[in-house]
């Protein structure tokens, strides 16, 4: 983690002065900003711009400036220029290549940096400031008088896009990269291949795109239900596409000019259904469409992976190569004779170590060619070389573990998943998971508390992920990305003590207007409804604080924020079943008994349940409520049967229970599992009134 002491000290020393710039809208917010009254407005509406950059850097920056909204005309001489972008490290502490200073006076704007990247970000700041404090409707270009000293908190500030489940073309990607540059983001993680389609031309393996870049169903879910088969581009109704190597070079170069590096991902050894459809001999059974895991016991698998990576290295100049490594079904390797023979020869104790052996072998190959391996946090299971970088997606704890083991880490847990819905789940366009509003993303700190200084130095940064299982159009994708990507940007750039939710929210409202005007289909933040009404405050009832007893314990995957006490803690569940207010039961009934300590008059026993067919969460097949005065003799108060609708695509929250009058010390609620193998029951609170 790179924290810049110079700016931290400045920010702390002049916090009262810096507050003068609070009305100037900037995302991400700078380390130090001191504004004054007044403006710089170019005479005649056009200002001259000078930079002492030379060669390609100079030409590219001036081309970018010429295409921008600011009316600037390039000149060759510094004297008399109104806007100056200068490589000039006046302070020896000011050496980070992305750092910059901006000083705007009545005579013009001076921007300083020690690298072209810093000057590029300085110019982004000028674009943000252009027209601020000018009366609306005047049409004038002007810049407010201000001093800004700025540098990023973290090195990796990224955006991830899955183009396998649904294909998004290069013009869509370029459009998003332009906005990433506005937010001073510097990594594009390109998820090029997965089970649902291979999207990259590989010259030595042409069947990858000839056979698996198209499918006869447009929507991912329909394709999966129909058997997950691919087709040729010439087939009737074929949907999909792929990027030629020429396309890739074009996008990589486009990103480079925006000072964004592209990190390609080739997801192996799992998520390889498309590979095995084209080359079934690379699987353990030798048959297509039987599983999604490459056979690690076959030498030709390693030859295939390194053959693909050889072309990847030629296309992508950045040092990082992402090899996925997540969600592999290792049971196939446990049954495969070739994999088992390899494990015996290498002395591997389990299939986790087999995957680790494969990962280390690929990493050694990449290292010998001057590249760095990065993968999802499953690559830690079974052991991992300290050289490898970990992308922590299953939760903060995996990032903490990786950092403590000496790995560099990119944090990207649930709060960074932009394919989650950001408002009312019952009305919003469907996402892949749960509920992640802007505030939840903004409050995420990518540097976990409790790390030592040395451990925290391994946190490279964070990124926002877009997975496209249920995102089929550019409009839907943009709706999910914006404005939450602004929170990702600020979390990676801005010092924690300089962050402010109230300020950021105000700026984000304005930024949504800017996005709409620029042709982006951003979520309308001003119309946000917020979390589920029941979750917006504590609920008082007779069972709060009483310890429930479970016939079957909740799943260790969803144990609740307060463990067994979660169902009597007075907290109702939000739209997000992963936030800790919900308890999850997998293939089990939910039967809970509560001792109220003494016989009392009871009028209600109820609980809410969730249905999300896309997450295999179903309403119960029936709920029984019983009561007892002594814990031995029980009276059934209600028996409410229910027929779960496994084909219902809607997200539902439904209350089951009993109302009436009885005298009881003990109450019991029994919810029967739906009967669908692998299905879940989720409930948030047992209310007794």
The residues that are catalytic are 194, 271, 327
Query: CA 229, CA 231: separation in Å to the nearest integer?
Result: 7
The token duo for 544 is 């709060």
Rounded to 10 deg, the angle between the 484-493 and 474-481 helix axes is 50
Query: CA 595, CA 105: separation in Å to the nearest integer?
Result: 72
Q: How many CA atoms lie within 13 A of 583 on its CB side?
A: 29
Query: CA 208, CA 266: separation in Å to the nearest integer?
Result: 12
Query: CA 356, CA 31: separation in Å to the nearest integer?
Result: 41
Query: CA 432, CA 557: separation in Å to the nearest integer?
Result: 18
Backbone angles phi, psi at 343, to 5 degrees: -60, -40
Backbone angles phi, psi at 404, to 5 degrees: -70, -25
* Residue closest to 354 by CA, chosen among 292, 430, 297: 297
The token duo for 569 is 């803690």
Query: CA 288, CA 61: separation in Å to the nearest integer?
Result: 50
List, in order, residues 6 or more apart from 136 with CB less than 8 Å away: none
Query: CA 606, CA 669: separation in Å to the nearest integer?
Result: 8
Query: Cα separations (Å) of 486 from 24, 199, 428, 651, 662?
Result: 16, 28, 20, 28, 54
Distance between start and end Cα atoms, the chain: 51
Query: Cα separations (Å) of 424 from 321, 364, 504, 560?
Result: 37, 47, 22, 22
Query: CA 72, CA 232: separation in Å to the nearest integer?
Result: 50
Strand-pair partners of 688: 605
3-state secondary structure at position 393? coil
602 contacts 669 by C-beta, under 8 angstroms: no
- As to burial, measured by CB atoms within 10 angstroms (0-12 exposed, 13-18 middle, 19+ buried), residue 174 is middle
CA 507 to chain centre: 21
Query: Cα separations (Å) of 60 from 56, 65, 67?
Result: 6, 9, 11
């Amino acid at each position: 983690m790179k924290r810049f002491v110079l700016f931290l000290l400045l920010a702390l020393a002049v916090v009262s002065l810096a507050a003068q710039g609070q009305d100037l809208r900037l995302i991400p917010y700078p380390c130090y900003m001191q504004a004054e009254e007044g403006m710089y407005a170019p005479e005649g509406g056009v200002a001259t711009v000078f930079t002492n950059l030379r060669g390609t850097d100079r030409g590219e920056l001036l081309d970018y400036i010429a295409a921008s909204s600011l009316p600037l005309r390039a000149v060759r001489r510094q004297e008399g220029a109104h806007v100056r972008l200068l490589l000039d490290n006046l302070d020896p502490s000011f050496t980070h290549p992305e750092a910059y200073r901006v000083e705007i006076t009545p005579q013009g704007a001076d921007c300083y940096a020690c690298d072209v990247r810093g000057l590029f970000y300085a110019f982004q700041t000028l674009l943000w400031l252009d027209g601020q404090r000018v009366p609306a409707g005047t049409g004038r270009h002007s810049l407010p008088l201000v001093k800004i000293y700025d540098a990023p908190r973290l090195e990796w500030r990224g955006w991830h896009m899955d183009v396998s489940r649904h294909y998004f073309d290069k013009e869509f990607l370029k459009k998003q990269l332009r906005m990433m540059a506005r937010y001073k983001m510097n990594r594009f993680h390109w998820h090029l291949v997965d089970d649902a389609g291979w999207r990259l031309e590989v010259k030595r393996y042409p069947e990858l795109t000839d056979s698996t870049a198209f499918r006869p169903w447009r929507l991912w879910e329909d394709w999966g239900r129909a058997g997950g088969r691919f087709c040729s581009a010439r087939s009737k109704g074929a949907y999909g596409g792929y990027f030629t190597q020429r396309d890739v070079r074009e996008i990589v170069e486009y990103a480079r000019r925006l000072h964004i590096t592209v990190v390609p991902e080739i997801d192996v050894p799992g998520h390889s259904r498309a590979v095995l459809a084209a080359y079934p001999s690379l699987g353990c059974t030798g048959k297509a469409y039987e599983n999604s895991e490459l056979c690690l016991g076959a030498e030709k698998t390693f030859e295939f992976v390194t053959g693909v990576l050889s072309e990847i290295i030629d296309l992508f100049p950045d040092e990082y190569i992402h090899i996925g490594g997540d969600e592999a079904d290792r049971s196939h390797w446990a049954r495969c004779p070739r994999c088992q023979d390899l494990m015996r020869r290498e002395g591997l104790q389990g299939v986790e170590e087999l995957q680790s052996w494969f990962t280390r072998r690929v990493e050694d190959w990449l290292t010998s060619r001057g590249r760095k391996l990065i993968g999802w946090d499953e690559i830690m299971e079974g052991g991992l070389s300290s050289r490898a970088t970990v992308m922590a997606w299953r939760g903060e704890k995996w990032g903490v573990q990786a950092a403590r083991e000496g790995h560099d880490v990119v944090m990207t847990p649930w709060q960074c998943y932009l394919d989650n819905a950001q408002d009312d789940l019952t009305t919003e366009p469907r996402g892949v998971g749960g509920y992640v509003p802007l505030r939840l993303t903004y409050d995420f700190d990518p540097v976990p508390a409790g790390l030592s200084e040395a451990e925290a130095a391994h946190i490279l940064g964070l990124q926002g992920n877009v997975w496209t299982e249920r995102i089929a159009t550019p409009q839907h994708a943009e709706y999910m990305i914006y404005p939450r990507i602004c929170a990702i940007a600020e979390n990676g750039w801005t010092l924690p003590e300089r962050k402010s939710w109230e300020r950021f929210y105000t700026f984000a409202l304005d930024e949504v207007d800017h996005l709409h005007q620029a042709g982006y289909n951003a979520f309308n933040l001003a119309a946000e409804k917020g979390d589920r009404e029941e979750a917006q405050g504590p609920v008082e009832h007779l069972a709060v604080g009483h310890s429930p007893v479970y016939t079957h314990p909740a799943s260790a995957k969803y144990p609740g924020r307060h463990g067994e006490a979660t169902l009597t803690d007075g907290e109702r569940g939000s739209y997000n079943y992963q936030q800790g207010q919900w308890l999850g039961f997998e293939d089990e009934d939910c039967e809970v008994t509560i001792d109220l300590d003494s016989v009392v008059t009871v009028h209600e026993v109820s609980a809410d349940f969730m249905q999300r067919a896309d997450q295999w969460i179903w309403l119960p097949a029936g709920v029984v409520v019983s009561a007892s005065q002594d814990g031995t003799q029980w009276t059934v108060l209600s028996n409410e049967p229910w027929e779960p609708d496994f084909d219902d695509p809607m997200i539902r929250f439904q209350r089951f229970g009993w109302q009436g009058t009885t005298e009881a010390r003990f109450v019991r609620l029994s919810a029967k599992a739906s009967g669908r193998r692998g299905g879940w029951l989720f409930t948030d609170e047992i209310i007794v009134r």
